[in-house]
Chains A and B, each alone.
Chain A
């Protein structure tokens, strides 16, 4: 098998991992290349996802039999394996031509977790020490690998991740019988305890598959919240389930639940940057997001009595509650209102979108819309219309690079 065929197989089987972020690292080593704190997207694939790293598996051979995974041992797919030298050569050649920010290396499990982990470490050690590669490296930690190997890997990479795959332990047991939840959390604990400038400086992330098992959005998001709190994860990625295998334990769907995935990302943002808690967004009797509205607009409609917010007076976190106003806009508003009284016209000048915000704010006591229309029913139907337009314009793909 030539290198091109190998790359085809091993990129194809790595593509379902959503993470491609190259941001957040501050390492400053000598050698070929460097890291950019903001992360850099080098291209965008035909699915609209950012390409920042050479995302490949070391091998797609695997001793595990996870139901949802294309590489499970019971599937008859073409298998390939890269040698460490081959991975280094491709990485360096791509990097010098500015195709990529670095490497994302994962692998199927061969022989046993320790053996697989050692092979990954060998590759990255070579890349760092023989090729003196100082660019970004994200590596997967293999669940079940010994702690000392996890620690060894941490010193070589910018980011490490172990995928939680499914939010509930019983789902994992059902669909990924070889994966043990406690093995995944022990990796997260090790990374958390050791993280420093020289140990996974860009932190750790994880991924959950959405729609392969029966969890509600509430269960998924509660899991994320607890992961953020317990292990200080940088990111939880959500990956809409794509039916690559037929199995009676898997749902039979044709189209991946992309809108649901997007709602979860939006809510995830609300947890990390907007000061929301899962409890604010969902509850037991209403455990799933509204597919027709983004979670913040949905929240705002359910708490209509909290509005309107006055642009010239509201606190930072109150401004963030306004649909259409994010951290950047809120900061602009707060910065400018110290020196002048902001009118609607000024918001437009500052490129703050009023499309959704106009229903929820006043500027110096004045409404943008006719005050008689400041009613939940009217606002709700207007927002639904806007969202429908966005969805049909295909604008709701995700940019996965920025933290």
Chain B
């Protein structure tokens, strides 16, 4: 039988569990979210957690390592919990030097995931499109990784005097900025959202599509290269690519 440890669904409960496992020198076969359904060869093990002290241990950890494990947590990797566990185990031993050990598979995997998540977030900082609806700006994203919090932090600085909502259609999460802070809501927590476009919106969208078409040099046409830099999976939420899908 393999031993599966469950956490409470959120990030801090995952870290709490991982610290406890490390403290007790337990090597879990897997770590999963609480809605996980074990198969016949797996059993769930419950661990009593030290809520008070566990997370404090991480305060001593270099910032870059904390950021790294957060990015892994945001990734779509199936084994991300176990990878964070492995990575933290080494991070306690090697501190910042942990990034040098590319010959250790779990560390190497984590470094690749960080890059993957970071690069998707960076792309969407550019590719995300807002529309002006009656009282606010509204954007839809469908990212592979759960990068909405990285984007919300970016736009909180950039569009600090506008009301906006970013909707992750894949995960059904809304990030809502109310001019002070960002709050995250599930669809069920909304009454209803009026998404009627502002009257001038079509004109501005038309201007953008005109610019997009015009700025390309026809003698240099290179659709393959365009797709390399701007993967097709993002097109459906990009105004200027609508007619190419």
A interface residues with partner B (beta carbon < 8 Å): 3-4, 7-8, 11-12, 14-16, 32-34, 36, 38, 40-52, 54-55, 90, 93-94, 96-99, 101, 240, 242, 255-256, 258, 332, 335-336, 338-340, 342, 346, 349-351, 393-395, 397, 399
A351 vs B112: C-alpha distance in the bound complex, in angstroms? 9
Within 8 Å CB of A43, what residues of B? 126-127, 212, 230, 238, 240
Q: Once the chains bind, are A97 and B214 in contact (CB under 8 Å)?
A: no
A14 vs B132: C-alpha distance in the bound complex, in angstroms? 28
Q: Once the chains bind, are A47 and B127 in contact (CB under 8 Å)?
A: no
A94 vs B130: C-alpha distance in the bound complex, in angstroms? 10
Q: Once the chains bind, are B214 and A7 in contact (CB under 8 Å)?
A: yes
Q: Once the chains bind, are A33 and B206 in contact (CB under 8 Å)?
A: no
B91-123 near A? 1/0 per residue, CB < 8 Å = 000000101111100001000100000000011
B73 touches A (CB below 8 Å) = no
B162 touches A (CB below 8 Å) = yes
Q: Once the chains bind, are B132 and A4 in contact (CB under 8 Å)?
A: no
Q: In the complex, which residue of chain B has the Cβ closest to the Cβ of A132?
A: B161
B221 touches A (CB below 8 Å) = yes
User: Within residues 200 to 239 of chain B, which ones have a CB less than 8 A from any CB in chain A?
Assistant: 204, 206-208, 210-226, 228-230, 238-239
A393 vs B227: C-alpha distance in the bound complex, in angstroms? 12
B21 touches A (CB below 8 Å) = no
Within 8 Å CB of B129, what residues of A? 97-99
Least CB distance, A401 to chain B, in whole angstroms: 10
Q: Once the chains bind, are B222 and A48 in contact (CB under 8 Å)?
A: yes
- Could you list 26 examples of A-B contacts with CB < 8 Å? A4-B210, A15-B214, A15-B215, A16-B217, A44-B226, A46-B213, A48-B225, A48-B229, A49-B217, A51-B212, A94-B207, A96-B137, A97-B130, A97-B131, A97-B204, A97-B208, A98-B129, A99-B239, A101-B126, A256-B219, A336-B100, A336-B101, A346-B103, A349-B103, A350-B102, A397-B222
Within 8 Å CB of A98, what residues of B? 126, 128-130, 139, 155
Most buried by A among B102, B127, B139: B102
Q: Once the chains bind, are A349 and B102 in contact (CB under 8 Å)?
A: yes
B interface residues with partner A (beta carbon < 8 Å): 97, 99-103, 108, 112, 122-123, 125-132, 137, 139, 155, 157-159, 161-162, 204, 206-208, 210-226, 228-230, 238-240
Q: Once the chains bind, are A32 and B161 in contact (CB under 8 Å)?
A: yes
Least CB distance, A338 to chain B, in whole angstroms: 6
Q: Once the chains bind, are A33 and B158 in contact (CB under 8 Å)?
A: yes
Check A44/B229 contact, CB under 8 A, given A8-B210, A38-B122. yes
Partner of A49, one of B122, B128, B220: B220
Within 8 Å CB of B112, what residues of A? 351
A93 vs B122: C-alpha distance in the bound complex, in angstroms? 22
A30 vs B108: C-alpha distance in the bound complex, in angstroms? 40
Q: Once the chains bind, are A350 and B206 in contact (CB under 8 Å)?
A: no
Within 8 Å CB of B225, what residues of A? 44, 47-48, 394-395, 397
Check A393/B224 contact, CB under 8 A, given A34-B157, A43-B238, A98-B130. yes
